[in-house]
Copies of this chain bind each other. A is one copy, B any other.
Amino acid sequence: MSKQITISLDAMGGDAGPDMVIPGAAIALRRRPELRFLLHGDEARLTALLEPHPQLAAAARIVHSDVVVRMDDKPSQALRAGRWKSSMWKAIESVKTGEATVCVSAGNTGALMAMAKFCLRTMAGIERPAIAAIWPTLTGETIVLDVGATIGADAQQLVDFSVMGAAMARAVLHVDRPTVGLLNVGVEEVKGNEEVKMAGRLLKEADIPELSYAGFVEGDDIGRGKVHVVVTEGFAGNIALKTAEGTARQFAQYLREGMNRSWLNKIGFAIARSAFDRLKEKMDPRKVNGGVFLGLNGVIIKSHGGADPEGFASAIALAYDMAAADLTNRIVEGLAHYHRVGVVSAVTGDTRGDQ
């Protein structure tokens, strides 16, 4: 029997707010009946929306809050107006108090990250958090981080990201010793900027038991699924992620145009329908919805603001996986391990710590 897992939801977050969150939670609960929810938001509105979902109502507790962080609030505005009292803040706080294991919000990313940092603080030994994305590949899924939390990460931070990403890979991809690659402009050791080259040396030297360092990877190796975890600084990672989204959209658009060009094409596409349904499923952004904030004392999942209930249910499923795998503690263990054995000796130039 699976144990109960409580997830706190920012029920007011997202473009459609509770009208999307509540049906999304209902879908997630049908798939994982052991889920329990804390719903943070306007009590009257949430109570009304729970009406058609008696099972969810039984598995959820509403925690009232008056204040809503808007999708276009700047992080500083959101902190000023929403700290201590907004649905977003309270959803995060439930993780801090231990009432919930993971928090999910479809609210605005900047505000969510600012509040999460303020409320949960970074883990001991971690300077800056990262956002990890799950990237569909030809061979399965790859975890890519950081996709935008930390602009200009240095070598040490890239090593931290490697440890955090590997812990997440064990939780999501169920591999014992995930392969980790550093995103670079070439695979030779001389390629890239100083931070990436230094991080490569540190990872080699540290020989961290929780991961297998696979060297540099290039942009096209992500979709190829060459490694389980791709580590990069947030500027390049964000650009890679959005560029891939743009390219997928472009391809889909060309296909749609082709389909509508003639009757013959329409008929052909109708006959080959099952192939397209599969393609659509493979590229469906809803299936991999959810950026994971790593490096804080608690895991926060950011759903797309424009997610529909199905997409939000995916983000909740991801939150479930993170909680079931006890991700935060796994990361803490991984960090403790490599701080003990590896990196310090690498930095000081000794050949290897005692293992």
Q: Which residues of A contact B (CB under 8 A)?
A: 136-138, 148, 151-152, 183, 185, 192-193, 218-224, 232, 234-236, 238-251, 253-255, 257-259, 261-262, 264-265, 267-276, 278-279, 282-283
Contact = CB atoms under 8 A, between A and B. Distances in A.
B222 A243 contact: yes
A269 B272 CA distance: 6
17 contacts: A136-B250, A138-B253, A151-B193, A152-B193, A183-B239, A218-B239, A220-B246, A223-B243, A223-B250, A236-B239, A239-B240, A240-B240, A244-B246, A258-B278, A258-B279, A262-B275, A264-B272
Given A148-B185, A223-B249, A254 B282 contact: yes
Contacts of A255: 275, 279
A274 B269 CA distance: 11
B185 A239 contact: yes
Given A220-B243, A268-B268, A268-B272, 9 more contacts: A152-B193, A223-B246, A223-B247, A240-B240, A254-B278, A254-B279, A258-B279, A269-B272, A272-B272
Number of copies: 2
Contacts of A152: 193
B219 A250 contact: no
Nearest to A266: B272
A248 B251 contact: yes
Contact of A242 (B220, B235, B245, B275): B220
Contacts of A246: 219-224, 244
Contacts of A267: 268, 271-272
A269 to B, nearest CB: 5
Contacts of A253: 138
Most chain B CB inside 10 Å of its own CB: which residue of A137, A151, A192:
A151
Contact of A274 (B151, B240, B261, B272): B261
Most chain B CB inside 10 Å of its own CB: which residue of A232, A251, A257, A283:
A251
B185 A234 contact: yes
A278 B224 CA distance: 25
A194 to B, nearest CB: 8
Nearest to A185: B238
A223 B183 CA distance: 22
A283 B224 contact: no
B244 A218 contact: no
A245 B243 CA distance: 10
Given A222-B243, A240-B239, A253-B138, A274 B279 contact: no
Contacts of A265: 271-272, 274-275
Most chain B CB inside 10 Å of its own CB: which residue of A234, A258, A262, A267:
A258
Given A192-B151, A244-B244, A239 B264 contact: no
Nearest to A261: B275
A276 B278 CA distance: 17
Contact of A272 (B224, B240, B247, B258): B258
B185 A283 contact: no
Contacts of A257: 278
Contacts of A258: 272, 274-276, 278-279
